[in-house]
Chain A
Amino acid sequence: SQTIHQWPATLVQPVGSPLSLECTVEGTSNPNLYWYRQAAGRGLQLLFYSVGIGQISSEVPQNLSASRPQDRQFILSSKKLLLSDSGFYLCAWSEVAEDTGELFFGEGSRLTVL
Chain B
Amino acid sequence: GQNIDQPTEMTATEGAIVQINCTYQTSGFNGLFWYQQHAGEAPTFLSYNVLDGLEEKGRFSSFLSRSKGYSYLPLKELQMKDSASYLCAVLDSNYQLIWGAGTKLIIKP
Q: Which positions in A face B, CB cutoff 8 Å?
A: 41-46, 90, 99-108, 110
Q: A-B pairs with CB below 8 Å: how many?
A: 49
Cβ of A108 and Cβ of B41 under 8 Å apart? Answer: yes
Residues on A with C-beta less than 8 A from B87 are: 43-44
Complex partner residue of B50 from A42, A100, A106, A110, CB under 8 angstroms: A100
Cβ of B31 and Cβ of A41 under 8 Å apart? Answer: no
Q: Which positions in B face A, CB cutoff 8 Å?
A: 4, 8, 30-31, 33, 40-45, 48, 50, 87, 89, 91, 95-102
Cβ of B97 and Cβ of A101 under 8 Å apart? Answer: yes
Q: How far is the CB of B18 from chain A (nearest CB, A)?
A: 20
Complex partner residue of B33 from A43, A46, A102, A106, CB under 8 angstroms: A102
Closest 3 CB pairs of A and B: A43-B99, A105-B42, A44-B99
Residues on B with C-beta less than 8 A from A90 are: 42-43
Complex partner residue of B41 from A42, A43, A107, CB under 8 angstroms: A107
A99 to B44, CA, bound (A): 18
Cβ of B102 and Cβ of A46 under 8 Å apart? Answer: no
Complex partner residue of A43 from B48, B95, B100, CB under 8 angstroms: B100
Residues on A with C-beta less than 8 A from B40 are: 108, 110
Residues on B with C-beta less than 8 A from A45 are: 99
Please give me the residue from chain B that is nearest to A108 by CB atom: B42
Q: How far is the CB of A32 from chain B (nearest CB, A)?
A: 10
